[in-house]
Structure 1
Amino acid sequence: MTTPFFQPNPNIIKPYALMDLDDTLFQTQRKIDAWELPTTEPKNLVCATVNKQDEPLSFMSQRQAMFFNWLLASTELIAVTARDRHEIQRVKLPFNSWQVLTHGAVILTPESELLSAWQQHMYNALAPLQNILNQLTDWIHNYSQKSDSTHNDLKLTPHTDTFVDRELTIYLAIKHTQKDHQALADLAEQLPIFIPNFEQHFYVHVNANNLAILPHGVHKRHAVQFLLEQHLDSQRPSFGFGDSLADLPFLQLLDWYGMPNHGQLHEQF
């Protein structure tokens, strides 16, 4: 049998595009300025997200908007994001396929329903850690109060959702109100020292002014792997983009992957 040469086929099969959102497809004005992104003159900006007061927060450059429009028309676009089910509502972009949310703890179907099998899986992973997460929350509050004024500006947000009719804490997010990245780095260094068996249960992800304390069972890679193995067509090609070191493990599951020319991954490599 002779291997045939390639022949163009008018029957286009859309690839899967698994895309991180924040700082990959859009970003705040502060980051637009810091990264000196092109085609971001006010007349070219497209609002992508709003804040809790329904005010514009993040924007697409003209190039990003064109890219997103191409993704919508040419691929099956799957959002893979740290945003939870409340935060994703503030993204004013159309998503019509699967959504991987909350660092991978939640998967929504194309009908925007919770994927029940994944819900049960995450319940089994998170339920045994609730007491430890509560203790960790108390320790961080005490740390910020007893430390110097720099650490008093730490803002802790537990991210929760309902799994099998029980509200569970998924992970802890910490920001610095004055955007002191060193204060977050200091906290990240202290956690394994002062929290017994911390690294047995959790890992830490730091990106700019965001520090996340996540159980090992919560990761974008785990959720994407579940989708690839259980729900997506293995014959269809897949590719993805992400800006963060935390995106790399899920991106490496795909046929092709890349990054924007700014952000944590770009700076690392």
Structure 2
Amino acid sequence: MTTTFFQPNSNIIKPYALMDLDDTLFQTQRKIDAWELPTAEPEHLVCATVNKQGEPLSFMSQRQAAFFNWLLASTELIAVTARDTSEIKRVKLPFDSWQVLTHGAVILMPNGQPLSDWQQKMSEQLYPLQDKLNQLIQLISEHRAQNDNGHNDLIFTMHTDCFHNKELVIYLAIKHAKKDHQALESLAKQLPILIPDFDTHFYVHVNANNLAILPHAVHKQHAVQFLLAHHLDNQRPSFGFGDSLADLPFLQLLDWYGMPSRGQLHSQLQTWHA
């Protein structure tokens, strides 16, 4: 066996950087204030996303903007996000590689087109669940009408997309109009009781003012695993960042991973080490 030692090489191989977006690379002004982010004074803020009316919604601090600029120059940056194909258009940042969207239900190729073999795979798994997904909104709405403990302020969104010319429901998102996190947590605990065989078909992810009811087939981890196995160069290193517990499974597929020093994953880590 010949022992070799490291030698600097000017031929740089760019690593893959697989990055969650919201609350990892940017966040709303409300969270900037709550987290007391450094270098987030008004004169340093950079607009990262807009709302449906085209008004600035989320921002990067000076440090975050510098970090993102470094990622663009030094890595092949792959967005891995819960945002769907319409929501990602409101992110005003230049992505030119793969994009994992809608909690992993959709993979866009670098040319912006859906990845056909992943579309086929997801279509086969989502199609049999369409009736159950459509029943979810009715069951939860009925429950909301019968309760006064904050459930009347729930806002529902059905996320759909087109899979080989078929419009399919992917998952249900719920927000609270008054940002009552406890009301969402309470609902999450009641779902397996309210809905027969809920755990067989679905799982729940709650992070801040977002509750998502997702089929087991839909997960960032599944999409990233598919990309790594079939479309990315396994000789190139990979790393990533994410802020939520739902990000951890996809991050653990990479060579290195981390988190911002605030958010759900950071808070959970502090709890584990308390």
Say yes or no: TM over 0.5: yes
Supply the distance in 2 between the matched residues of 1:135 and 1:77 (Cα, whole angstroms).
Answer: 38
Say yes or no: does 1:46 pair with 2:24.
no
1:3 deviates by 1.5
Say yes or no: does 1:154 pair with 2:146.
no
Supply the distance in 1 between the matched residues of 2:74 and 2:145 (Cα, whole angstroms).
Answer: 51
Say yes or no: does 1:125 pair with 2:125.
yes
Equivalent residue letter for 1:9? N
- Aligned Cα RMSD in Å? 0.6
* Deviation sequence 1:223-268 (CA, Å, 0-9, x none): 0000000000000000000000000000000000000000000000
Structure 1, unmatched stretches of 5+, are none
* Deviation sequence 1:2-55 (CA, Å, 0-9, x none): 221100000000000000000000000000000000000000000000000000
Equivalent residue letter for 2:94? P
1:140 deviates by 1.1
1:192 deviates by 0.3
Say yes or no: does 1:10 pair with 2:1.
no
Supply the distance in 1 between the matched residues of 2:87 and 2:110 (Cα, whole angstroms).
Answer: 18
Equivalent residue letter for 1:223? A
Q: Which moved more, 1:183-192 or 1:20-29?
A: 183-192
Instruction: State the match for 1:228 in structure 2.
Output: 228
1:113 deviates by 0.4
SS at match of 1:169: strand
SS at match of 1:247: helix
Q: Which moved more, 1:173-182 or 1:138-147?
A: 138-147
1:149 deviates by 5.5
Supply the distance in 1 between the matched residues of 2:132 and 2:212 (Cα, whole angstroms).
Answer: 15
Supply the distance in 2 between the matched residues of 1:3 and 1:127 (Cα, whole angstroms).
Answer: 54
Instruction: State the match for 2:28 in structure 1.
Output: 28
Instruction: State the match for 2:186 in structure 1.
Output: 186
1:86 deviates by 0.2
Equivalent residue letter for 2:81? T
* Deviation sequence 1:110-156 (CA, Å, 0-9, x none): 00000000000000010000000111110111112221051100001
Equivalent residue letter for 1:48? A
Supply the distance in 1 between the matched residues of 2:104 and 2:37 (Cα, whole angstroms).
Answer: 29
Equivalent residue letter for 2:87? E
Q: Which moved more, 1:180-189 or 1:198-207?
A: 180-189
1:23-102 equivalences under 5 Å are 23-102=23-102
Identity of aligned residues (%): 77
Q: Which aligned segments of 4 or more residues in structure 1 are displaced greater than 3 angstroms?
A: none
SS at match of 1:58: strand
Instruction: State the match for 1:177 in structure 2.
Output: 177
